[in-house]
Amino acid sequence: MKNLRFLLFHFKKNPLSVIGLVIIVIFAIIAALAPVIAPTPEGQFNPYMIPRDGYGSTPQPPSDTHIFGTTQGQYDIFYGVIWGTRTAFQVGLVVIGAVLVIGIILGSLAGYFGGIIDEIIMRITDIFLAFPPLILAMAVTIALGASIESIIIAITVVSWPSYARVIRGDILAIREEDYIEASRGVGASHLRIILKHILPNSIYPIFIMASLDIGSVVLTAAALSFLGLGVPEGYADWGQMINFARNWIVGTPTNTFAYWHAITIPGLFIFFFVMGWNLLGDSLRDILDPRLARR
Amino acid sequence: MEFRSYLIRRLFLLIPVLLGVSILIFGLLQLFPPYQRAMLYVTDPRQLSNIDEIIELYGLNAPVWQQYFTWLGQVFQGNLGWSKVVGMSVTDAIFNFLPATLELAIFSTPIIILGGIWLGTKAAAHKDGLIDHTTRAGAIVGWSLPTFWFGLVLLMIFYGYFRGLFPPERLSTAMSVLVNSASFTRYTHLNFIDGILNWEWRVVFDSLRHLVLPVITLSVVNIAFIMRLMRSSMLESLGRGYVLTARAKGLPEKQVINKHARRNAMIPVLTVSGYIFAAIVNGVVITESIFNYKGLGWWAWRTAIQLDVSSILGFALFSGVLFVLTNLVVDLLYAKFDPRVRLGGGVK
Amino acid sequence: MEKLVQIKGVSVNFYTYEGVVRALNNLSLDIYKGETLGLVGETGCGKTMTAFAILRLIMPPGVIETGTILFTPNGSAPVDLLSLSEKDIRAIRGSKISMVFQEPGNALNPVYTIGDQISEVILLHRNNEMIVRAIKDIDCHLNQPADERNKLFDYFIRMQKYILAAMLNSPGALLPRIVQKVPLVKRLLWRINNEAKKTAVAMLKEVDIPDAERIVNYYPHQLSGGMKQRAVIAMALACSPKFLIADEPTTALDVTIQAQILELLQRLKDEFNSSVLYITHDLGVAAAICDRVGVMYGGSIVELAEVNELFVNPLHPYTRALLAAVPKPGEEPMPIPGFIPDPTNPPAGCPFHPRCSLAQDICRLEKPELHEIYPGHFIGCHIDAGENIDTPSQN
């Protein structure tokens, strides 16, 4: 309770974290109200596919029918970025959830039992950590075929080892605490000790830190779809919308910034989304970092 | 003495990791159908017409463990398969594209590491001051920038608006012709260095002009990362007793920070420099694909979107092994830097 | 006796998120030449802050709000340490006033050798002396018979001498400045570093470190706690300071080593003819080595007297409680009731009144001033000595 109040105190003192929170809340509202803000046209089966207005390649500037204009292939940018917010939250939340589950199970097994189990799990994480993450994610994505699920699996595959390691480390530290010894002394079972004592004490900071990684998960996912891997063409995804715009960086001879909207708008959505999490995370990390706390 | 045994132990630990890396790559390979897997065993374009023969020859329908050893044998012979995107073997492709990426790395790595350390030190030394707030805000912005988008915006401004001031690709057409002509000797395939060696300043200037935007794109995010790490590590170091001792000795604050605090604060930064290498490799793929800069990253991107299995897995294997070796070097440097690791503990 | 340091009305505040911490509260204290003054009190009473204030080592969010600290080294006019420029106070730190810290493991930088760390302070404050020695060394070499010497090396060594002489005579000139800055050229000055290292070895011998020539190249983690503390003491005494502040130098050590270090400090103090401010929470140690002892509570001195007077005839209720709390054989120790005051919100009046059995109304309203009750015996308490002291031996 005291910790929470301490956290809130710092939180209020730091205007940047408040801005971060506001940004995230706005995005959450956009995602929740996507069907209202950008209604799916009649007769379209999948709302995540961006409606297109014709098949011409040249992006069209903002107009009454397309308030953010259209990008290459006449996909509506407004619809794309609004529903893309949903995609972003989906990818971020599912990946973090999956990574936490895997990380907690493997990390606590390794940390609590130690010995050969620890050794095996840690060597496996070594192997996964032996690749630059984006490269491994690219390989996994193409192996699984183009879909949003492939991206989610690929990012989960490359991110779980670091969580497992952090959780293992925390559990190793907590395992040595006296009260764990005490409950072992009175004959509590392993599962009971892990579930009742160890996890609640290590999970709270990990949970917060993990949720703040949503920003970077979304960034990686966007990078993959920017590279043309993962989502099918026309899926409402910010990274893909930037990919659509990449051939239009040079404007017309009369107007050098003729297609600015196609590049800038989806980019700003990613940027602000990620920055919201980072602003929140930067201050929370400082507060949660015990070495820097209470200075 | 102890350093040598440390080195031997560390080298010994490489074996299981490298073995695991190969198993992981091979496991990924199993997700593809045999006719795609066959590309990994091709050494010559003429074989492409007889894929069935290769499937037969290398037993691609045989039990998995058998296939693994066949494949591993191929890898040890330096055969990673055929890259259909560029029409050469994967090994050749790697060596063909390496110089371009090396050129990019040579310019950006020092900027990233020195810039990040310098900014982080400054921010920590002036904690809560103007410099600190500015660099921190800059770091959050930099850290949140989607690299691929940032690169495109830079291109839109410096290539589009300023009419080709800083163009994409590695060289302009004219210089490209010059570099490939008979009168120009390609000693290293690094255009910048070859230009100097051939006394062709136009090539040097042109290659630098093409490097500006990719280097900026690659650096911004990574500088932000190192800066944040260095800042928090410096803050911890500045709170330690030896910093107080240094001040009590009468050392000027500059020396206290640069000599006593920073040397210790560098140790955690060094331990993650393996991660920095990975981040640079990640960034290289994105940056090279934006700028059409034909290096390893660009090749990896092309092969990935054209489902060129042998190339992407070959590249993954290559970067994995490189990464493992980098981590080895980092560990050795770490031992060099921290006498506690180098000499071991204990009283003598 | 002459006063070496006079602390007058120093207040130090820390501006933290929990509020303003009053670390030192109008503290006054004199330290005489050649004496060992003990400073005792519970954790958080401001002992270490007093030391930091003297050296001006208080870092933000701490601020020295008021007061003066006059420092009068031999034969010179007193200077106020608190109003010196940053450069001038740095010249004093480590040379005229130096400090030994509580935890030797933390005080030494793990990435430099013991020798490097001692040399550093020597090069900082005794650079000219080292240059003179280096020149003497060169002269010694040049005085050897000419035919035994290499001619080329001769030119080189003469050039070295020329540079060293320039550094000594005109340190602001271009040549010495360049040589000291440019990385590779800096190597020419190796003789100075060599002399500093020789001095470091001599200092290590001075503090009874065996095999000093070898230990000088060791890193801190290769030494035991006692050895580390000896190295720290060698570092502090490297410039023969007039005033040594020892902040609980033996707390982190084993009892047997503690005795050795105390003995060493006593001996070196006499040898270097310096004054010592000895900070400790161990009353036994204070009784053993101090000439006078000051008791601190809530950021100020509450009682100050000759060591025997203080232990035989303690007057302040806090001192008495502190002495009663020390476990003695055959007696039940008496813990002091209550806790040390919250430094962000100290009680009004006398800071000790919430824990004091003799507290009266005035104690809750007014902070008592430190005043002399007997010659050389000061207390800061409202209760008059005659009323509450059972055995007033006034003569």
**What is the three-state SS of B90-127?**
HHHHHHHHHHHHHHHHHHHHHHHHHHHHHHHHHHHHCC
A212 touches chain B (CB under 8 A): no
Q: Is the separation of the CB atoms in A34 and A83 below 8 Å?
A: yes
Q: How far apart are the C-alpha atoms of C341 and C297, rounded to whole Å?
A: 9
Rounded to the nearest angstrom, the minimum Cα separation between A126 and chain C is 29
Average pLDDT of the residues in B203-210: 90
Q: Helix (H, G, I), strand (E, B), or coil: what is residue C236? A: helix
- The residues near C79 (Cβ < 8 Å, ≥ 6 apart) are C70, C71, C72, C88
Which 8-state DSSP code applies to residue B41? Answer: G
Average pLDDT of the residues in C100-123: 88
Strand ordering across the sheet containing C19-32: C19-32, C3-16, C62-71, C79-80
B286 touches chain A (CB under 8 A): yes
Average pLDDT of the residues in B64-88: 85
| Chain B residues touching residue A237 (CB < 8 angstroms) | none
Q: Are strands C377-379 and C371-374 parallel, antiparallel or unpaired?
A: antiparallel
Closest Cβ–Cβ partner in B141, B278, B305 for A132: B278
Task: Using CA atoms of C375, C378, C382, C384 in order, give the dihedral in degrees to the nearest 10.
Answer: -30
Does residue A157 or residue C162 have the better pLDDT? A157
Tracing tokens 């929990």 back to the chain, one arrives at: C18
Query: Which pLDDT does position A288 carry in this prediction?
Result: 62
Q: How many CB pairs under 8 A join A and C?
A: 4
Q: Are the beta carbons of B152 and A133 separated by less than 8 Å?
A: no
Which 8-state DSSP code applies to residue C35? Answer: -
pLDDT at A181 over 80: no
pLDDT at B344 over 60: no
Would you give the distance in Å from CA C347 to the centre of its chain? 30
| Chain C residues touching residue A6 (CB < 8 angstroms) | none
Closest Cβ–Cβ partner in C103, C111, C120 for B264: C111
Rounded to the nearest angstrom, the minimum Cα separation between B150 and chain A is 8
Q: How far apart are the C-alpha atoms of C112 and B262, rounded to whole Å?
A: 12
- The residues near A78 (Cβ < 8 Å, ≥ 6 apart) are A38, A66, A67, A68
| Chain C residues touching residue A10 (CB < 8 angstroms) | 17
Average pLDDT of the residues in C242-256: 84
Q: Helix (H, G, I), strand (E, B), or coil: what is residue B348? A: coil
For residue C335, which of C345, C327, C344 has the smallest C-alpha distance? C327
Q: How far apart are the C-alpha atoms of B343 and B321, rounded to whole Å?
A: 28
Which 8-state DSSP code applies to residue A76? Answer: B
| Chain C residues touching residue A294 (CB < 8 angstroms) | 17
Q: Are the beta carbons of B339 and C110 separated by less than 8 Å?
A: yes
| Chain B residues touching residue C103 (CB < 8 angstroms) | 241
Average pLDDT score over chain C: 82
Q: Helix (H, G, I), strand (E, B), or coil: what is residue C23? A: strand
| Chain A residues touching residue B16 (CB < 8 angstroms) | 123
Q: How far apart are the C-alpha atoms of C25 and C9, rounded to whole Å?
A: 8
> What's the number of CA atoms in the CB half-sphere (13 Å) around residue C206?
24
Interface chains of chain C (3 or more CB pairs under 8 Å): A, B
pLDDT at C260 over 50: yes
pLDDT in tens, B320-329: 888 888 888 8
Which CA distances in Å does B111 have to A132, B121, B227, C58, C83? 20, 15, 12, 36, 42
Chosen for mutation from C14, C15, C16, C17 (greatest number of chain A CBs closer than 10 Å) is C17
Lowest mean pLDDT among B210-224, C85-99, C244-258: C244-258
Q: Are the beta carbons of B246 and C109 separated by less than 8 Å?
A: yes
Q: Are the beta carbons of C111 and B263 separated by less than 8 Å?
A: yes
Q: Please report which confidence band the pLDDT of residue B211 belongs to, taking 50, 70 and 90 as the band edges.
A: very high
Neighbours of B199 (CB within 10 A): 8
Burial class of residue C8 (count of CB atoms within 10 Å of its CB; 0-12, 13-18, 19+): middle
- The chain B residue lying nearest C235, using CA atoms, is B249
Q: Are the beta carbons of C90 and B260 separated by less than 8 Å?
A: no
Closest Cβ–Cβ partner in A130, A138, A271 for B320: A130
| Chain A residues touching residue B136 (CB < 8 angstroms) | 282
Q: Please report which confidence band the pLDDT of residue A222 belongs to, taking 50, 70 and 90 as the band edges.
A: very high
- The residues near B313 (Cβ < 8 Å, ≥ 6 apart) are A139, B25, B28, B29, B40, B80
B339 touches chain C (CB under 8 A): yes
Rounded to the nearest angstrom, the minimum Cα separation between C167 and chain B is 20
pLDDT at B133 over 70: yes
Q: Helix (H, G, I), strand (E, B), or coil: what is residue C251? A: coil
Q: Is the separation of the CB atoms in A214 and B125 below 8 Å?
A: no
Chosen for mutation from B10, B13, B23, B152 (greatest number of chain A CBs closer than 10 Å) is B152
Give the start-end residues of each E strand in chain C. 3-16, 19-32, 36-40, 62-71, 79-80, 97-100, 243-247, 275-279, 292-297, 300-306, 371-374, 377-379
Average pLDDT of the residues in C356-373: 80
Q: How many CB pairs under 8 A join B and C?
A: 80
B254 touches chain C (CB under 8 A): no
Which 8-state DSSP code applies to residue B254? Answer: H
> What's the number of CA atoms in the CB half-sphere (13 Å) around residue B86?
25
Q: Is the separation of the CB atoms in C273 and C288 below 8 Å?
A: no
| Chain B residues touching residue A123 (CB < 8 angstroms) | 16-17, 20
Q: Is the separation of the CB atoms in C216 and C199 below 8 Å?
A: no
Average pLDDT of the residues in A250-262: 81
Q: Are the beta carbons of C110 and B252 separated by less than 8 Å?
A: no
Q: Please report which confidence band the pLDDT of residue B38 belongs to, taking 50, 70 and 90 as the band edges.
A: confident
Task: Please list the residues that pair with A235 across neighbouring strands.
Answer: A49
- The chain B residue lying nearest A261, using CA atoms, is B153
A120 touches chain B (CB under 8 A): no
Q: Are the beta carbons of A130 and B236 separated by less than 8 Å?
A: no
Q: The tokens of A93 are what?
A: 């939340």
Q: Are the beta carbons of B340 and C110 separated by less than 8 Å?
A: yes
Question: CA angle, A137 as apex, A132 and A139 as ends, to 5°?
Answer: 100
pLDDT at C42 over 50: yes
Does residue B269 or residue A192 have the better pLDDT? B269
With an 8 Å Cβ cutoff, the interface of chain A facing chain C consists of: 9-10, 13, 294
| Chain B residues touching residue A275 (CB < 8 angstroms) | 140-141, 144
Q: Is the separation of the CB atoms in A193 and A186 below 8 Å?
A: no
Q: How many helices (DSSP H) and strands (DSSP E) are in chain A? A: 13, 0
A293 touches chain B (CB under 8 A): no
Query: Which pLDDT does position C386 carry in this prediction?
Result: 44
Q: Are the beta carbons of B244 and C91 separated by less than 8 Å?
A: no
Q: Is the separation of the CB atoms in C82 and C69 below 8 Å?
A: yes
pLDDT at C395 over 50: no
Lowest mean pLDDT among A99-113, B177-191, C260-274, C380-394: C380-394
- The chain C residue lying nearest B267, using CA atoms, is C111
Does residue A227 or residue A111 have the better pLDDT? A227
- The chain C residue lying nearest A13, using CA atoms, is C17
Q: Are the beta carbons of A142 and B304 separated by less than 8 Å?
A: yes
Tracing tokens 């996994």 back to the chain, one arrives at: A140
Among residues 51-90 of chain A, which lie with CB inside 8 Å of chain B?
A: none
B251 touches chain C (CB under 8 A): yes
pLDDT at C332 over 80: no
- The chain B residue lying nearest A250, using CA atoms, is B160
A263 touches chain B (CB under 8 A): yes
Q: How far apart are the C-alpha atoms of C140 and C256, rounded to whole Å?
A: 45
Closest Cβ–Cβ partner in A226, A250, A271 for B144: A271
Average pLDDT score over chain B: 85
Would you give the distance in Å from CA B176 to the centre of its chain? 25
- The residues near C310 (Cβ < 8 Å, ≥ 6 apart) are C292, C293, C295, C303, C304, C319, C377
| Chain B residues touching residue C17 (CB < 8 angstroms) | none
pLDDT at C333 over 80: no
* Amino acid code (one letter) for B215: V
> What's the number of CA atoms in the CB half-sphere (13 Å) around residue C270?
7
Q: Is the separation of the CB atoms in C297 and C351 below 8 Å?
A: yes
Average pLDDT of the residues in A165-193: 75
Q: How far apart are the C-alpha atoms of B289 and B152, rounded to whole Å?
A: 11
Q: Is the separation of the CB atoms in C36 and C290 below 8 Å?
A: yes
| Chain A residues touching residue C17 (CB < 8 angstroms) | 9-10, 13, 294
Rounded to the nearest angstrom, the minimum Cα separation between A30 and chain C is 37
Rounded to the nearest angstrom, the minimum Cα separation between B348 and chain C is 7
Q: How many CB pairs under 8 A join A and B?
A: 159
- The chain C residue lying nearest A10, using CA atoms, is C17
Query: Which pLDDT does position A84 carry in this prediction?
Result: 93
Query: Which pLDDT does position A153 carry in this prediction?
Result: 94
| Chain C residues touching residue B338 (CB < 8 angstroms) | 110-111
Cα-atom radius of gyration of chain C, to the nearest Å?
A: 25
Task: Please list the residues that pair with C296 across neighbouring strands.
Answer: C301
- The residues near B136 (Cβ < 8 Å, ≥ 6 apart) are A282, B123, B228, B231
For residue A155, which of A211, A87, A99 has the smallest C-alpha distance? A99
Q: How far apart are the C-alpha atoms of C67 and C369, rounded to whole Å?
A: 16
Q: Are strands C62-71 and C3-16 parallel, antiparallel or unpaired?
A: antiparallel
